[in-house]
Amino acid sequence: MAAHPDDVDFGLAGTVATWTDAGIDVTYCIVTNGDAGGSDPTVSRADMVVLRQAEQIAAAKCVGVSDVRFLGYPDGRVEASLDLRRDIARVIRQVKPDRVACQSPERNYARMPASHPDHRAAGSAALDAVYPDARNPFAFPELAEEGLAAWIVPEVWISGSPQPTHYVDITATFDRKIAALRAHESQTAHMANLPEMLRGWLSRAAALGGLPEGRLAESFQVLDIP
Ligand SMILES: [Zn+2]
């Protein structure tokens, strides 16, 4: 669950690869089409939607994910609205996940790009969709009318949280994370130092998580929701 195409890849593609390697099915649900992304004024916004969806689908393949869903909200104007909560709750009831990963609704002053307003709004709506919307059979009755039964998600992993509690060693899947990020060509083609930049972030996370020198990690705040 993420606001923009490429958010999943910056935040947790390495972890996703460890999950798919373990045989876990992963679905991506992207709130916007990233139509406010890129810096080329000659690309129309409609073309940007097509491009960024295709890039996200290609990036997902790099880490073993083939189910990618777009909710089509406008990039740059995401709010934690009732409509968004219902639309995320719908996907949860369709997919029936054991775990949801989302962005942090909290502003992380140490990592402002992670705290983009769309990320905070998407994270807030995702948490509300997990609890209580998806599990309460009387929330959004239109979902029950669509034949979607209530679903309890017992675990949430928050990416970009100011209070990480869990560190995943992604040293073995780092190359696939970089491949996934490179698939977002309209966003990362100009970043010659992308692997070095990521190595810097991920080795700092690994050190914070107490992993041995030379390891790379993605960090999460993991919530158990009984
Ligand atoms: Zn983003």
pTM summary value: 0.96
Residue 7, pLDDT > 90, answer yes
Cα of 146 to ligand 1 centre, how many Å? 31
The answer for residues whose C-beta is within 8 angstroms of residue 6's C-beta and 6 or more apart is 34, 37, 52, 55, 56, 59, 181, 184, 187, 188
Cα of 144 to ligand 1 centre, how many Å? 31
Q: Which residue has the tokens 């041995």?
A: 212
Residue 103 has a pLDDT of 98
Residue 38, pLDDT > 80, answer no
pLDDT tens digit string along 167-208? 999 999 999 999 999 999 999 999 999 999 999 999 999 999
Cα of 101 to ligand 1 centre, how many Å? 14
Average confidence (pLDDT) over 80-97: 98
Q: What angle do CA 117, 115, 32 make, to 5 degrees?
A: 50
Cα of 5 to ligand 1 centre, how many Å? 7
Average confidence (pLDDT) over 55-67: 98
Alpha helices in the chain (DSSP H): 7-21, 45-62, 82-95, 117-128, 141-145, 174-183, 185-188, 194-208
Average confidence (pLDDT) over 150-166: 97
- Report the C-alpha gap between 166 and 223 in whole angstroms: 10
- Report the C-alpha gap between 83 and 197 in whole angstroms: 36
Residue 111, pLDDT > 90, answer no
Cα of 103 to ligand 1 centre, how many Å? 9
Cα of 105 to ligand 1 centre, how many Å? 13
Joined together, the tokens standing for residue 164 give: 């990480």
Average confidence (pLDDT) over 28-42: 88
- Report the C-alpha gap between 116 and 122 in whole angstroms: 10
Residue 23 has a pLDDT of 98
Residue 117, pLDDT > 90, answer yes
Cα of 142 to ligand 1 centre, how many Å? 30
Average confidence (pLDDT) over 114-129: 97
- Amino acid identity of residue 186, one-letter, is S
Residue 49 has a pLDDT of 92
Residue 152 has a pLDDT of 98
Residue 180 has a pLDDT of 98
- Report the C-alpha gap between 34 and 128 in whole angstroms: 23
